[in-house]
Each structure stands twice: as C-alpha cells, then as structure tokens.
Chains A and B, each alone.
Chain A
Amino acid sequence: GESVGLHLPTLSVQEGDNSIINCAYSNSASDYFIWYKQESGKGPQFIIDIRSNMDKRQGQRVTVLLNKTVKHLSLQIAATQPGDSAVYFCAEILNTGGFKTIFGAGTRLFVKA
C-alpha cells in the first residue's frame, strides 16, 4: 500500500489510554479546521471539524480543541484502540476570496496492545 511518510512525529500510547495529537497552524485568518485520519494504504478520512468561532467540539470518542491565541489545534482520542493507529493530519482552511486548504505533515499514532 501507499506509505505516508518516513520521518513523521510519532506518538505511542497504550491501548485504553487517552491520546492527544497537536497541530500548530500558520494563519491567524484561518476560519475552519479539519482533522483527518490516514490508515496505511488508504486515503485520508474526515474525523472532525471545528469553526474558528468555537474552541471545542466533541464527536464520538474524539474532541478537538482550538486555541486561536497561540494558533494551536489538538485532537483528543479517548480510550485509544488498536484501530486508531494511523497518521493524523490537521488542515486549516483560509478564505482569501477563494478557499485555500493547508495540510499539516501529520503525526503517526501507534497504539500498543
């Protein structure tokens, strides 16, 4: 399958623990943010999104936190499972008249059984 990257930041967690994946974004004018998950050999899949007028949004087992002051985004995964092992990307969407999406390089999450 397609490999994602050889030199990504890596987070290793024990099954059942909570995971926190961080992302620093670049543009204070970005008004929409998305987290994607990419499993080995697959394309990225949408996990959760958040608008800039919010600072927290929860999904099923996932929570995204947005700190606009320091341009930081985090993804929290509760009770991490082996199936959560993947590369996680944040994306910021900037409205410059048209929309521009900027993807982060990603973080690799390993879940130890």
Chain B
Amino acid sequence: DAGITQSPRHKVTETGTPVTLRCHQTENHRYMYWYRQDPGHGLRLIHYSYGVKDTDKGEVSDGYSVSRSKTEDFLLTLESATSSQTSVYFCAISESDGARCFFGSGTRLTVV
C-alpha cells in the first residue's frame, strides 16, 4: 500500500476512553489525511495535514484531534470515544493538494 502503515489494524474500546490511531508513511509525501468510511457513505475527511505541525479540519472533525510532529507520522486521537465513532478509518497521503491519494489498509475501530 505505497509505503503506508496504519496501526492498529483492529481495536475494540469502551465508550469514554481515549484512542489514538497511527499512520506512518515512507514516501515523504507532504499531505496526509484521515478519513472514515461508513456504510452508505463515501469516504469522509476528518482532518488533514499539509506539513509538519500544519493541520486543518475536514468535514467530520468533531470529537477528533490530530498531530503531525514528523513528516512520516500522522496521529488521529479520539478524545473520548463514542459509539458513533465506530467505523473504518483510513489514512491517505498525496504529493500535493488535490492530487491522487494513496491509502493505507485501514483500522477497524469498534466502540462498545
């Protein structure tokens, strides 16, 4: 998957707990994205980053925060997990804004 590693691949967590998902790339791409994928919806953007320490909100950012301290790592944190955040989360990278994306294999998160 184009040098993108997501961890963990699967996680079950309890409502109210914090959760951090990690995305690591070896392509040195500037842009990194976090999407969620739910039945009946297209991929929806949570947050994205356009450089180290440069991040911005997507369309479904409430309840999520991100950090990018290094080019290769982009972390997604659910501050207090809720059942509505049960989803499959994909990290993606691109060389430039609006360019085609390369996606990781996804993290299935279940909040019980």
Contacts and interface: CB of A to CB of B under 8 A. Distances in A.
B42 A93 contact: no
B86 interface: no
Interface stretch (A52-60, A78-86, A102-110): A102-110
B64 interface: no
Interface residues of A, number: 27
Nearest to A31: B98
Contact of B103 (A7, A44, A95): A44
A43 B42 contact: no
Interface residues of B, number: 24
Contacts of B92: 43
B58 to A, nearest CB: 9
B18 to A, nearest CB: 22
Interface string A38-71: 0001111110010000000000000000000000
Interface of B: 1, 4, 37-45, 88, 90, 92, 97-98, 100-106, 108
Interface of A: 2-7, 32, 34, 36, 41-46, 49, 89, 93, 95, 98-99, 101-106
Top 4 closest pairs, chain A to chain B, by CB: A99-B98, A43-B103, A103-B42, A103-B43
